[in-house]
Amino acid sequence: MTLIAGSSIQAIHKIAALSAQEIVAEGMEVEPQLLMFKVEEVDGVQFGALIGMVDPRFVHSMQRDANTKDLLLQVVRGLLTGEVEKIVPDVIVHVSESWMKEAANEAELKQIESGLLNVKDLPGRTEAVTILLHTLDGSYLSVLPIINLGGDRRELTMVPLDLASIHNSFGRLSLNKEKT
């Protein structure tokens, strides 16, 4: 297994974010996708090579409810460990449109985290693109807000990946161990 440098994780994130930005600018929806990258090293420099992707229709169908989201994470784990495919990626990037909202208070946050409240049903929500980068070391999280410019025009706000997000990215679609 290749020890993946933070700069490689950030570069792979940028590839996914720029692709999503282009799709949003063209007025289309960012279809849920899993992109698989192998990290190679040449003369001490790492680069991520796209080696495959999972059909967006499959990914979309696996994001419908809690049970299928658990199955999707099992697929991600299986791909990273080589249980599903012979070619084992070093990084799997999960890209999807989502909703975001700042929780009004601690009680609302706990209801959202427990699944009792869904962000898509809350007033004041905003569209976003969520990018999860999964490695065997854990998952990095990035949420890029979408700004509605009126009509069918939208713009994706580019936000650099915070490498510290590996320490605070938890939830159903994260490979990180829950805080104890």
pLDDT at 68 over 90: no
What is the average pLDDT value for the chain, to the nearest integer? 83
Low-confidence winner among 56-60, 101-105, 139-143 (lowest mean pLDDT)? 101-105
Residues constituting the chain: 180
pLDDT digits 0-9 by tens, 78-88: 888 888 777 78
Residue 130 is predicted with a pLDDT of 92
* Lowest mean pLDDT segment, chosen from 52-56, 67-71, 166-170: 166-170
d(CA 106, CA 99): 19
| Residue of 173, 163, 172, 160 lying closest to 140 (CA atoms) | 163
Going by the DSSP 8-state scheme, the letter that residue 158 receives in this structure is P
At 2 the pLDDT is 59
| pLDDT at 180 exceeding the cut of 50 | no
Angstrom distances, CA of residue 95 to CA of 46, 60, 150: 22, 10, 24
Q: Residue 57 is encoded by which pair of tokens?
A: 């229709």
